[in-house]
Chain A
């Protein structure tokens, strides 16, 4: 996995402060997925992953923002999205990525499930500073 890709052609930044914002993130990511001509299955996977990550940003990170845009590498195009919060951070990444483990009241599949739904998954976190999760889904 290489570092975070910087989207070309501009990114769209949206706040994630309320429940409605999760819906807006889904709309934004779906629009990008359509623009990138992802297949229906990949669109749904990406939108679902974005939904999970946006909700994590809201519920566990105490709110934050998302930046999303199209990226290209080696002739392939994809959709990149980066979810950022300045919340409490994740003390144990391995534990957080374990299926069924949750620090809240969810199913404990959001973060680990989102990783399986995308092609590239990059998590940066520092306790007390916040968390940034960047994902990329490539068009086939």
Chain B
């Protein structure tokens, strides 16, 4: 840990030529990020961090989790979050911290042994701050990923009314237990809300139908039947049909159709409506 004496020395070391050092730091980081960030923004970020670091050292901060470093940590967290959102790699994020070490190195040749000792302490401190940014970065990434997963769950399961008494659920992507639950709930609720008696589940966007997907589908259909609605499964492509046959899955008396159009025609027929071409007009 950095003792009070070293902190003082470090603060002096950093503030003696502060303006030039900070400038060199900004330049180095800017190069490592290959100018994907505006220099003005980077300059503001790093100078703020630099000042906070000097200030904390002057107040005699010890380890990374020292009370006096709270502002530095807050700034680093913010920088890491921004980097994660802007799509920088974790390495590019941590380099912002490590680059300060390189900037300080040239000044050491003329420094006293005490300065070198102080530099080594600072170096260790910066390593810890580097790790801190990595943690903040990955935490932000995880937050982004789980938020996206949640959004996907919502996005990918719209229930649409396509005719009076007919609703459709176009399924896209992988059907796991969590998503099937959402689909089932939405479908059953939509049946009540719209007063529909026909539901079409379109699986054109489902890449593979395995036994779990089939089981989830069957359960949803049985639940809809209990509510007095009839379900049609559409979008069964040739390769899916052959796979289902080979797997040995029985769809029983559930109506299945190749396309959504066929399913709609079937559903309309069941509701008593029919599609008729106008007399004298060719389709």
Contact = CB atoms under 8 A, between A and B. Distances in A.
Q: Decide whether A and B are members of one complex.
A: yes
Contacts of A23: 174
B248 A112 contact: yes
A44 B213 CA distance: 14
Nearest to A105: B215
A128 B208 CA distance: 32
Nearest to B245: A116
B176 A51 contact: no
Given A41-B239, A41-B242, A43-B239, A48 B215 contact: no
Contact of A109 (B177, B239, B247): B247
A107 B243 contact: no
A95 to B, nearest CB: 16
Interface in B233-256: 238-240, 242-243, 246-249
A19 interface: yes
A123 B207 CA distance: 27
Nearest to A40: B239
A44 B208 contact: yes
Interface residues of B, number: 20
A112 B246 CA distance: 10
Given A107-B215, A112-B248, A41 B208 contact: no
A107 B246 contact: no
A52 B247 CA distance: 10
Nearest to A114: B247
B210 A55 contact: yes
Contact of A48 (B176, B177, B238, B247): B247
B214 interface: yes
B260 interface: no
A47 B208 contact: yes
Contacts of A30: 207
18 contacts: A23-B174, A41-B238, A44-B243, A45-B239, A45-B242, A45-B246, A51-B208, A52-B210, A55-B210, A99-B248, A106-B211, A106-B215, A107-B214, A107-B215, A109-B211, A109-B248, A116-B246, A117-B243
Given A47-B208, A117-B246, 13 more contacts: A26-B207, A26-B208, A44-B207, A45-B239, A45-B243, A48-B210, A107-B211, A107-B214, A109-B211, A109-B247, A109-B248, A110-B211, A113-B248
